[in-house]
Amino acid sequence: MNGPGSSIEKPDVRMIGDVHDARTDILTFSPEKEKRLVRKLDLWIMPLMMFTYTLQSYDKGIMRSASQFGFNEDLGLTVVIGHGANGAAITDDQRYSNAAMMFYIGYLVGMYPMMYLAQHHSVSRVISLATFFFWGAVVMSTAGCSNYAGIMVARFVLGLLESAVAPTFTVLVTFWWTRDEQALRTGLWYCCVGVATTISPLINWGLGHIKGPLYPWQPIFLVLGAITILWSFVLFFALPDDPYSTKRLSESERALAIQRLKRNNAGTITHKFDKSQCLEAFRDFKMYSCALIILLTGVPSGALGTFATIVINGFGYGHFESLALTCPIGAITALAILLVSYVTRKWADTRYLCIIVCALISIAGTLICWFGPRSNRGLLFAGIFLIAVQVASGGLAVSLAASNIAGHTTSPGPLYRAGFIGSFVCLCGVVVISGVTWVYLRRENAKRGAKSPATDGSQVPSIEENLTDMDNHAFRYVL
């Protein structure tokens, strides 16, 4: 790895000298050199982040595919509570829901300790060892679960370990790409949640048909867990921490990368905890806005990720059809994220508008699934398609959190109507919060422009001051 843990105490001393060098050499940086550097970063760091997030999303959703191979019945997650008039079994999937929920409880519990590790130690070490190596081990151990209690523990630990990936990736993007470039790059790794949903069902279908002494669902966990462990070693040696510590940049490339960091006007990179920045974060309206949007879009996203196969199965499709039909849902998700990332890159200050549009499209989908006739399977499936679009809203909220916060401490089967109603309410909340935040930040930009209209860079503070967006009045918010 390029950011050895033994050098953690050195960056704060080394940064000042490097920043000074970047300033003195700035006149030698041509647009061609910057394009070459950006291309190098895109071909080096972005594939690592994309494959990592694909694996993470794949592993997280394995339970969805395993449910089609007797996983729920073998572990007692589905309980027969009666029989209908035609003799068909009436089942209760509450235990399956609880197992799915335990992942997110683990995620919440693990957020602070994982962020503490990432703040004080090498990001690549935390991702590769503390997260992915042990993550893969837990995925493999899930194959050994034999009861409800075992899967509950495994899902909790899985959530705890995953809690570091998305937040550290969000910050990592700010270390290497400018604010104008960040939405597209965040979209590239975030869209891999859709890529995983597209490719995993058919792979899992094949793994579930391996003949042998194991239950059909066990090879799925064993193979994917082993791949995850192997990938952790790739991250250990290939994923860089920041421009200051990596050895894969020449001195001129390093100076240019640091100068680009200065252009972000978002403070510098430091492993020191700043109490004032932490307290400011709790007073920051934008933080709550982005967090709420991510949380509210996470409800329908989590429901799709965990229950899509079961819901489609409840529409009257068979096991293979239910798995196969989740593939286009993943494709729609990935394409929606990439499309809005391109739009926000092409036209400035359109991120909140895209969040609102995607949420409105998915609201239409929830209404179709809520009120649509159970006999019209095509219509219901189209509604699921539309609900998948809202995942792009969560991706944009992630990029806004990175771009707008400166400083670096911070029978026919069950109807499932309750899930669609909950998704509808959450997406309406996304529209309202996004609209209010857009108005607020637009007024804040106008107010700052009236106080400090200079655009020649004379009022831009140096990055080693590590000012937050509230302290830095030259900072402008991305809309």
List, for residues 98-146, the tens digit of each pLDDT value: 888 898 888 888 888 887 787 777 888 888 877 789 989 999 999 999 8
Read off the tokens for 202.
């058919």
Percent of the chain with pLDDT over 70: 76
Who has greater pLDDT, 235 or 375? 235
Structural domain spans, the chain: 1-176+200-264, 273-479
* DSSP string over 264-280: TTS----SS--HHHHHH
Q: What's the average model confidence in pLDDT over 292-319?
A: 73
Q: What are the backbone dihedrals phi and psi of residue 56, each rounded to the nearest 5 degrees, phi first?
A: -60, -45
The answer to whether the Cα torsion of 225, 230, 231, 237 is positive or negative is: positive
Averaged confidence pLDDT in the chain: 78
CATH code of 1-176+200-264, in short, is: 1.20.1250
Question: Residues 330, 198: contact at Cβ < 8 Å?
Answer: yes
Q: Are 124 and 241 in contact (CB under 8 A)?
A: yes
Q: Length of the chain, please? A: 479
Greater confidence (167 vs 256) lies with: 256
Q: Which residues contact 470 (CB under 8 A, 6 or more apart)?
A: 280, 284
Domain 273-479 coded CATH 1.20.1070: no
User: Does an H or E element contain 462, and which?
Assistant: none
> CATH topology of 1-176+200-264 equal to that of 273-479?
yes
- Smallest Cα–Cα separation from 440: which of 428, 432, 452? 432
The number of beta carbons lying within 10 Å of the beta carbon of residue 53 is 21
pLDDT tens figures, 382-417: 888 898 888 888 878 776 765 555 444 443 444 455
Asked if pLDDT for residue 60 goes beyond 70, the answer is yes
Beta bridge partners of 90: 82
Q: Is the pLDDT of residue 374 over 80?
A: no
168, 117 Cβ separation under 8 angstroms: no
